[in-house]
Amino acid sequence: MRRRLLNSGLPLFYPKRGEYMSIEEMLTKVKSNLKIEDDSKDLIITDIIQECLNYCNLKEPPVELEPFIRRKVKAIIDYETETGGSSVFDVTSIKEGDTSITYNTSEISRETIYGLSDNDKKALQQFRRLRR
């Protein structure tokens, strides 16, 4: 393993580039880094891992993909906490007189939270492989 120092002087250990881990190992690592102790978020984490693997045409996640998956899962958890997880559509306003419904069309919407946005795809581009 390589050793790198941050500005704070605390040593961080990074595995060698190109090392892979199983989906279960990635799940365990993401849960431990987010301090999730129960199995309530396993489905969300596994879905994000699988979506990244599908986009990148990989069978196992590289170790370097963990921070991306962790941030993506954290964004989903925060979104569900904020909205209560019960919103079916991203509605920003509803008027009753002449019935007007305005939907969320900003960059931060349900599809970009749960799916892969353009920024996510740019970040995953370095891990992407050609299909065989």
Element (H or E) spanning 43, and its range?
helix 42-56
CA 55 – CA 71 distance, rounded (Å): 17
- Domain borders along the chain are 2-127
Query: Would you state the pLDDT for residue 11?
Result: 44
Which pLDDT band holds residue 4 (cuts at 50, 70, 90)?
A: very low
DSSP structure string for 57-93 = T-SS-BGGGHHHHHHHHHHHHHHHHHHTT--SS-EEE
Query: Would you state the pLDDT for residue 97?
Result: 78
pLDDT tens string 107-117: 556 667 788 88
In 3-state terms, what secondary structure has residue 125? helix
Cβ-proximal residues to 110 (8 Å cutoff; 6+ apart), any chain:
79, 87, 89, 90, 104
pLDDT tens string 19-78: 888 999 999 999 999 999 999 899 999 999 999 999 999 999 999 999 999 999 999 998
Q: Which two tokens stand for residue 27?
A: 């799940």
Q: Which two tokens stand for residue 11?
A: 């040593």
